[in-house]
Amino acid sequence: MKIGFDNNKYLKMQSEHIKERITQFGDKLYLEFGGKLFDDYHASRVLPGFAPDAKLQMLMQLSDYAEIVIVISAADIEKNKVRGDLGITYDVDVLRLRDEFQNRGLYVGSVVITHYSGQLSAEQFKAKLEKKNITVYLHYTIEGYPANVPLIVSENGYGKNDYIETARPLVVITAPGPGSGKMATCLSQLYHDNLRGMKAGYAKFETFPIWNIPLKHPINLAYEAATADLNDVNMIDPFHLEAYGETTVNYNRDIEIFPVLNAIFEGIYGSNPYKSPTDMGVNMAGNCIIDDEACCEASKMEIIRRYYTALNKVVRDETSDTEVYKIELLMKQAKITTSDRRVTAAARERAEVLGVPTAAIELADGHIITSKTSDFLGASAALLLNALKYLAHVDHDTRLIKPEAIEPIQDLKVRYLGGRNPRLHTDEVLIALALAACHDENARRALEQLPNLKGCQVHTSVMLSEVDIKIYKKLGMDLTSEPVQTGRKKY
């Protein structure tokens, strides 16, 4: 993929800009950190060259200044909310995040449980953390939040919350996901610091939408596609336009909450240091785009991928058609169709000709390889072998795994494990390939090509099993599927 983003420039510029913002507020800044810190694959896909852990790398440059506070909502603990990308609950992710940060040399000061109103599950989680010697604070539900400003900015509002003891000038407030209460945590700290005679500040770090590129730029449209289930909408920031006569982009929730935020700042300090939601941000990503055309193309492909993800979720009853309709509108704005993704068109055309499930992959050199379902292999498993043979310069007709090696595995699946589908899944075919590599040179060379599949585009004509989806994800490929289920129980 063509590089469109200067990651090194971003790390330098972003860390310097945050340092500047700290000095504006008496050497204490609460930084609300939106999005993912060290696995931001959306950003790396729409900004080719952006490292998935770029934001973490940037924080590591500020490690002497920064401490991290992880926020989790008691409501999310109670309903066992799950991170869709990792398949783990938010409470488990808090521990994962803490370990990840500390392993990178970053200081994690504490955990805050927000929206607390006596939930038993939150109490149990608090006890679990304290048993691990993790400091935990409670922030309570405030009636009428965020509209009831007099109550919010009072001893019965923010004043009721535990004060978070912090030791460093930059306090990064992060969370497992959206809606955790990061902004309220920051504002609560401002209230308490003000009572203590400290003039701390607040800023917001969101990568998207990018404020200093056009509203309908494909990068910003791709962000809307990624958050279609949240009903986020990119908008021109009217407050910034009025204050400075400058057009900038923000999203609806920040714009809608700004009048309330303004009133809260005035309640705490008597005035608001910011004239607009854009003013609150510190994101420098827009200044580090070095090839706009490459980023536009990558973003358009991301919108198509998001479209297929939404279609699959509808089939699995995980979302409504509204999410699909919204992304369809975004595709029209971007002037793209699903056929603009080469690998998608290739898989569909192959399926129409053969009448069986098929798959296609686009490799780094632009070469497209297809596969089909056979008696031995599913299309997704066959695709891996076909791609690996091409990369290893092994003739397509060469069998990497002998049929006599596959048949015992099929017998095991059906006779002993009660399976109905004898064909090998991707995990099974990779294990078989690894065994073959012990005595076959072609298999060994093919197996060594697995790292070269990272970043490749894949499309299948039917929806895959969870096993196959996870294998493709582990290999770092961008997978989409037609919203067609085959041979699956619907209960």
Q: What predicted TM-score, i.e. pTM, was given to this entire model?
A: 0.90
Number of folded domains in the chain?
A: 2
Same-domain status, 355 and 282: no
Q: How far apart are CA 15 and CA 284, in angstroms?
A: 9
Same-domain status, 279 and 382: no
Q: How far apart are CA 102 and CA 107, in angstroms?
A: 6
Same-domain status, 32 and 104: yes
Residue 268 pLDDT exceeds 60: yes
Q: How far apart are CA 454 and CA 7, in angstroms?
A: 19
Helix (H, G, I), strand (E, B) or coil at 157: coil
The reply to whether 332 falls in a domain is no
pLDDT digits (tens, 9 = 90+) for 418-438: 888 888 889 999 999 999 999
Average pLDDT over the chain, rounded to whole? 93
The CA angle 417-420-424, to the nearest 5 degrees, is 80
pLDDT digits (tens, 9 = 90+) for 90-109: 999 999 999 999 999 999 99
Span 376-380, mean pLDDT?
92
Q: Which of 99-103, 329-333, 395-399 has the highest mean pLDDT?
A: 329-333
Domain that holds residue 243: 7-288
Same-domain status, 393 and 282: no
CATH number at residue 363: 3.40.140.40
pLDDT digits (tens, 9 = 90+) for 143-172: 988 888 999 999 999 999 999 999 999 999
Same-domain status, 254 and 370: no
Instruction: Return the C-alpha torsion angle 43, 45, 49, 52, nearest 10.
Output: 50
Same-domain status, 104 and 216: yes
Residue 488 pLDDT exceeds 60: no
Residue 300 pLDDT exceeds 60: yes
Output Rg (C-alpha) for the chain, integer angstroms: 25
Domain boundary among 270, 288, 306: 288
Q: How far apart are CA 311 and CA 114, in angstroms?
A: 34
How confident is the model at residue 96, as a pLDDT? 94
How confident is the model at residue 199, as a pLDDT? 84
Q: Which of 83-87, 336-340, 483-487 has the highest mean pLDDT?
A: 336-340
How confident is the model at residue 63, as a pLDDT? 92
313-319: Cβ within 8 A, 24+ apart: 314/483, 315/463, 315/483, 315/484, 315/485, 319/229
Residues 287/16, Cβ–Cβ less than 8 Å: no
Same-domain status, 227 and 365: no
How confident is the model at residue 180, as a pLDDT? 92
CATH number at residue 153: 3.10.630.10
pLDDT tier at 490, thresholds 50, 70, 90: very low
Same-domain status, 360 and 247: no
Residues 61/54, Cβ–Cβ less than 8 Å: no
The reply to whether 247 falls in a domain is yes
Nearest to 48 by CA among 8, 6, 9, 3: 3
Same-domain status, 284 and 349: no
Same-domain status, 40 and 116: yes
The reply to whether 209 falls in a domain is yes
Residue 335 pLDDT exceeds 80: yes
Same-domain status, 276 and 368: no
Residues 370/337, Cβ–Cβ less than 8 Å: no
The reply to whether 409 falls in a domain is yes
pLDDT tier at 470, thresholds 50, 70, 90: very high
Nearest to 177 by CA among 261, 77, 259: 77
DSSP for residue 229: G
